[in-house]
Structure 1
Amino acid sequence: MLHLLVDTSTWLDLSKRRDGQRWIVALRLLVHQRDVELLVPELVIEEFERNRERIEASMTASVAQRFKLIKQDLEDYGGTDVENAVEVIADLARDVPLIGAMTTRNFDEVLELLRTGRRVEATDAEHRGVVERGLRKRAPLHRSRNSVADALLIELYATAARASDLSRNPHAFVTSNSADFSTEDGDKRQPHPDVSATFASEGSTYALGVDGLNDVLLSHFGSEIKELFAETDFIEEPRRLGEILEAEKMLFDRVWHHRSLQHEYQLRAAGDEGELERLEAIAGPARKRVEETYTQPGELGPYTDFELGMLNGKLSALRWVLGSEWDFLDT
């Protein structure tokens, strides 16, 4: 089993990535199969929860600002034939909340991974190690900034690695904090000399950022992880508002047409000619429009009870997304 201690900065970087699901899904499956164990200090969860809201807000604001600037440039410098382009940008800008929701998904799933990992708690030994690093100005306490939390992470990792048979249970420490953990001169993928002893043994690996995590997984699992990446390497695009409105209208038309026909059948069965004429006058033109629009076999029924239930369920779901309450099915 591969044991990973991934620091907060790497988890946040992974959550921000548009292709983050590639690693999030793969790690979830590997953890479920007991091929990977995540070592999770409490401080990593605390830091992740403390920083995620700020980062999520900044990402959504950044996207919205880019749309705003593009729209402004088109209006200022686009000449006289830019109305359509401005409208396209405005339409895309309305989808920013959906983009933000997809971003939130990454953060939610990473937090779930962290909460299901093995919690590692600091003992007096790790705290003494942090103090000793501070007194000797050893990385990650070799600079002026306060890196006590980082020092505690490396002490916790060192304890876990020493207590394991690394030939059977390899360990990896993954961080995006090259300033505190990586060598100051040369390849930043190499650990600082003050922490390099922790990675001297075969089976204990220092990795830098999401790319380093990727390398660790490839090195340990080989073709298996490549196949897993291939299966999970997808980006789900949120539906644009126009697409949702178009689908809602299609479902509305089909459900309304079915109900209109049912009403007609009931009136015919009752022999109510007056109401039949009134229904034809009111609903006839709209029914004709629907029948001219949906011409494929089965689009306008007849429906089984299951098919009708699916239509109503989809309509209810889309209306909920657009702001209505659940089960609002008025047509």
Structure 2
Amino acid sequence: MRMFNVLIDTSVWLDLAENAKQTPLLDLVERLVADGQARLLMPRIVVNEFQKNRDRVARSSAKSLATHFNQVKSAIRKADGDKRQKDRVLGYLSDLDHRIPILGGAAEGVLTRIAAIISASTIIETSDAVKLRAADRALYRKAPCHHENKNSMADALLIETYVECVRTMSGAGQRFAFVTHNKHDFSAMDGNQKLPHADLAAMFSKIKSMYFINLAECLRRIDPMRVTHAMWEQEWEQEPRSLSEMLHAVDRLTTQVWYNRHKYREWQVEKGKIKIISQAAWNDGWAKRKLSTQTHISDDIWKGALKAAKKAERTLGAGNYGPWSDFEWGMINGKLSALRWMLGEDWDELYT
């Protein structure tokens, strides 16, 4: 059975976290490793760079979008034009802006998964021989150390660690792959960037040791069918709900909760548990603290409540205002509480 030994550069891991559309690829990496089709080569330099950049990526995944949206909205407010059109655009941007913390949280979740993958991998320490060969590359300006005024020693350590793995782990059925998004340092300078730099070309081949600048292409070489399926799943990406959708749901649920409470009060009125009295009698009794909303209601308020109930029935539509079972009633209250919490209120806020 073939075993693909894959070294994934830090740049690829971080890009997986920053781009939610690449999450299916992370799923695929986990499955291939779990099924024994692939083994991750995890140099110490990758571990250190990931830990160093993790917090930055988590913050920037939301902050950069938020800053950009604020700048765009500010420019729209200052620009001349039809106020109604501007309000529509600003409303749409506010919906998108509301999703930013959710997307930022998704990036943190992916970073946590990547950290778990790294922790489960065998860490490859940097040998003295690797350090010497990396220093030689830097000294003689060989890729990835061929750029002026740039310290690429970490990249040199990475590629030399990969070369050492190929040399020491080779055997029947063993395949190797190096995956990076750092085309500037590792890829051919002029021409096809899918090919390694001329200084690195001898390290790679079409079968035993392969060079990739795209993780999906690498994984496709390991299991074509799984990658195709993962790309299909990507088309079904679930988007966060917009602010307008949540506000609409809150309004509908609030109406349902109010209507249910109204029907209970209507039953209390029919049973004589709550008495309808004139507004004057209510005002007098309330002032003297002899009346309570638990036992009395003014006729004006009751007429308004009956009218509001009819309006609620028209708004909700038949079948959407009860009666409900205890389970259904609990679901409605739970949804309202959860949505209000997402919008900034405390838990269990069920006022109507």
TM range, smaller chain: 0.7 to 0.9
Deviations, residues 232-263 of structure 1 (Å, cap 9, x unaligned)? 43333332211111100101111121122223
3-state secondary structure, aligned to 1:205 = strand
After TM superposition, list the pairs within 5 Å mapping 1:1-331 onto structure 2: 1-17=3-19, 19-40=21-42, 41-52=46-57, 53-54=59-60, 56-70=62-76, 72=78, 75-76=79-80, 78=81, 82-95=82-95, 96-117=97-118, 118-125=121-128, 126-144=130-148, 145-165=150-170, 168-200=173-205, 202-208=207-213, 212-269=214-271, 271-274=273-276, 275=295, 278=298, 280-281=302-303, 283-297=305-319, 299-331=320-352
The secondary structure found in structure 2 opposite 1:170 is: strand
Is the 2:341–2:347 contact (alpha carbons within 8 Å) kept by the matching residues of 1? yes
How far, CA to CA, are the matches of 2:172 and 2:56 in structure 1? 36
Letter in 2 for 1:249: D
CA drift at 1:156: 2.5
Q: Equivalent pairs: percent with the same residue?
A: 30
Could you list the runs of 5+ residues in structure 1 that have no partner in the other structure? none
Aligned to 2:21, the other structure's residue is in SS state coil
- For 2:38 and 2:347, the matched residues in 1 are separated by 40
Name 2:281's counterpart in structure 1: none
Q: Secondary structure at the match of 1:19?
A: helix
Kindly tell me: are residues 325 and 271 of structure 1, through their superposed partners in 2, closer, same or farther at Cα, counting changes over 3 Å?
A: closer
Deviates more, 1:1-10 or 1:302-311: 1-10
Structure 2-normalised TM-score?
0.80
Q: For 1:17-70, what per-residue CA distance to the aligned partner results, in whole angstroms no more than 9, with x for missing partners?
A: 363334234334444444444434312312431541345422332344344445
Report the CA distance between 1:132 and its aligned residue. Answer: 2.8
Greater Cα shift, 149-158 or 43-52 = 43-52
Q: Deviations over 1:179-232 (max 9, x none)?
A: 211122332211123323332473321111xxx212112222112321232124
Amino acid paired to 2:147: R
Q: 1:169 to 1:257 in 2, by over 3 A?
A: farther
TM-score, length-scaled by structure 1? 0.84
Instruction: Give the Å deviation of 1:2.
Output: 3.4
**Conserved in 2, the CA contact under 8 Å of 1:161 and 1:171?**
yes
**2:5 and 2:175 in contact (8 A); partners too:** yes
Cα distance in 2, alignment partners of residues 122 and 281 from structure 1: 80
SS of residue in 2 equivalent to 1:94:
helix
Counterpart AA for 1:116: I
Shift of 1:270: 5.1
Greater Rg by CA: 2
Q: State which drifts further: 12-21 or 310-319.
A: 12-21
Relative distance call for 1:103 and 1:139 in structure 2 (3 A) is: same
Amino acid at match of 2:246: I
RMSD across aligned positions (CA): 2.7
Structure 2 unaligned residues grouped into runs of 5+: 277-294
Cα distance between partner residues in 1 of 2:249 and 2:237: 22
**Amino acid of the structure 2 residue aligned with 1:171:** F
- Structure-2 change in CA distance of 1:50 and 1:316 (3 Å): closer
Decide which moves more: 222-231 or 279-288: 279-288
Paired with 2:89 and 2:222, the residues of 1 have a C-alpha distance of 45
Deviation at 1:323, TM superposition (A): 0.5
